[in-house]
């Protein structure tokens, strides 16, 4: 009886030890057959997305560039992925069916499409600003939610966003590809005399597994030389009214867009905006005024009197004679600033018109 018990115990022990040796070998052989080598499986473990395991409980996210997913790799990742030891009550083994479902979902997940920049960006200077035109890229994924952003910079300044379109899905054309829609944007912001650079970006808004992803690609850049629109020249000082504090001057303003040129003379006080004579602002502000003294020969009309000190008349009109003399005349030098902060000093022309009031 004792011998039979001993033989039974030995048989049970041999069975346990044999099973412990055979099961790992079978698992290793299955992984090796599915992918060629265990080294490939170890290499792919770094790309396993454990969020799929925790979310669906079905094996893992086995998406890896160049290598297709397999149930064997999912099994290897589930059993060999480093993780803290869990109590026996929380250990769960995944069935082959669950692993196959998880790998199928990963294999069928669409790869993120490339987002291409807009095409044919161009700029043209108009009377109202810089007109930008561009075309959507037909290679963009149809149905993706995208929006367009336009940025501008002058010189070495940081690019500034000046326009953003509302998000909209990319429409499909008759061929099934994305429609190449044309867009226009008028920028009235650049200051006269500046060189503005522009770029257009396409921004894609997608949701991948509940997370919003934004990908933007910068398209080509263009520049626009913004011409000076108004020519301003100081003319003369205006006699200061009693109690007035700020100097007032007469300024000739010429709109260079208007043909033929028709300069307008406007009156402006220090600290005020210079108008164009037609009710619009030139964008320049008169910040201060200096005086430039010039000695000029002036012909002054002098009335003619008779021997009896009465005015001499001719055909009923007073008679004048011309007296030439040299006078010191003050002309204004303008200090102006535009809306971009550009400062400019404007001197009177070499032969200005006669001042209103020499000072």
Q: Of 165, 226, 216, 163, which Cα lies nearest the Cα of 193?
A: 226
Q: Tell me the sheet residues that pair with 219.
A: none
Separation between Cα atoms, residue 39 and residue 181, nearest integer Å: 50
Q: What's the mean pLDDT when you consider all of the chain?
A: 74
Which residue ranges make up each domain of the chain?
A: 2-108, 119-225, 230-346
Q: Residue 251's CB: how many other CB atoms inside 10 A?
A: 25
- Please give the pLDDT value at position 107: 54
Mean per-residue pLDDT, 84-99: 63
Distance from first CA to last CA of the chain, Å, rounded?
140
191 sits in the region (left: phi over 0; alpha: psi -120 to 50; else beta) called beta
What percentage of the chain carries pLDDT values higher than 90? 23
CATH superfamily entry for domain 119-225: Immunoglobulins (2.60.40.10)
* Among 137, 139, 96, 100, residue whose Cα is nearest residue 120: 137
Residues ≥6 apart with Cβ < 8 Å to 244: none
Q: Each residue of 250-304: pLDDT tens digit?
A: 999 998 878 887 899 999 999 999 998 888 888 899 999 999 998 888 888 888 9
Residues 111-126 have a mean pLDDT of 80
Q: Which of 15-19, 64-68, 102-106, 189-193 has the lowest average pLDDT?
A: 64-68
Distance CA 149, CA 204 (A): 11
Confirm whether pTM is higher than 0.75: no
Distance set, CA 84 to CA 43, 79, 80, 81 (Å): 21, 12, 12, 10
Model pLDDT, residue 3: 58
∠ CA 43-210-74, rounded to 5°: 30
Of 352 and 151, the one with more pLDDT: 151
Q: For residue 318, is pLDDT > 70? A: yes
Q: What is the DSSP string of 309-331?
A: SPBPEETTEE-EEEEEEEEEEEE
Asked if the peptide bond before residue 260 counts as cis, ω within 30 degrees of 0, the response is yes
Convert the pLDDT of each residue in 44-83 to its tens digit.
344 434 434 333 333 333 333 333 444 444 434 444 444 4
């Amino acid at each position: 009886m004792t011998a039979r018990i001993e033989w039974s115990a030995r048989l049970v022990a041999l069975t346990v030890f044999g099973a412990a040796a055979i099961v790992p070998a079978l698992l290793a052989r299955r992984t090796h057959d599915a992918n060629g080598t265990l080294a490939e499986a170890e290499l792919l473990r770094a790309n396993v997305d454990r969020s799929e395991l925790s979310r669906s409980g079905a094996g893992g996210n086995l998406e890896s560039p160049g290598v297709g997913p397999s149930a064997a790799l999912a099994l290897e990742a589930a059993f060999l992925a480093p993780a803290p030891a869990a109590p026996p009550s929380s250990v769960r083994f995944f069935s082959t069916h669950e692993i196959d479902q998880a790998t199928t979902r990963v294999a069928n997940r669409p790869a993120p499409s490339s987002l291409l920049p807009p095409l044919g960006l161009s700029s043209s200077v108009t009377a109202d600003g810089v007109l930008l035109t561009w075309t959507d890229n037909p290679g963009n994924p149809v149905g993706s939610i995208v929006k367009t952003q336009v940025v501008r910079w002058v010189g070495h300044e940081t690019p500034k966003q000046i326009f953003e379109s509302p998000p909209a899905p990319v429409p499909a054309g008759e061929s099934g590809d994305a429609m190449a829609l044309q867009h226009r944007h008028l920028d009235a912001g650049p200051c006269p005399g500046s060189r503005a650079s522009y770029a257009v970006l396409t921004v894609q808004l997608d949701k991948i597994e509940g997370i919003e992803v934004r990908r933007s690609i910068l398209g080509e850049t263009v520049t626009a030389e913004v011409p000076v629109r108004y020519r301003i020249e100081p003319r003369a000082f205006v006699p200061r009214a009693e109690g007035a504090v700020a100097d007032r001057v007469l300024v000739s303003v010429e709109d260079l867009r208007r043909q033929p040129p028709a300069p307008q003379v406007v009156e402006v006080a220090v600290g005020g905006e210079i108008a164009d004579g037609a009710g619009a602002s030139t964008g320049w502000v008169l910040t201060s005024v200096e005086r430039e003294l010039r000695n000029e020969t002036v012909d002054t009309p002098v009335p003619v009197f008779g021997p009896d000190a009465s005015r001499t008349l001719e055909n009923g009109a007073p008679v004048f004679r011309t007296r030439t003399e040299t006078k010191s005349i003050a002309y204004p030098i303008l200090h102006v600033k535009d809306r971009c902060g550009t400062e400019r000093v404007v001197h009177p022309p070499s032969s200005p018109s006669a001042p209103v009031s020499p000072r």
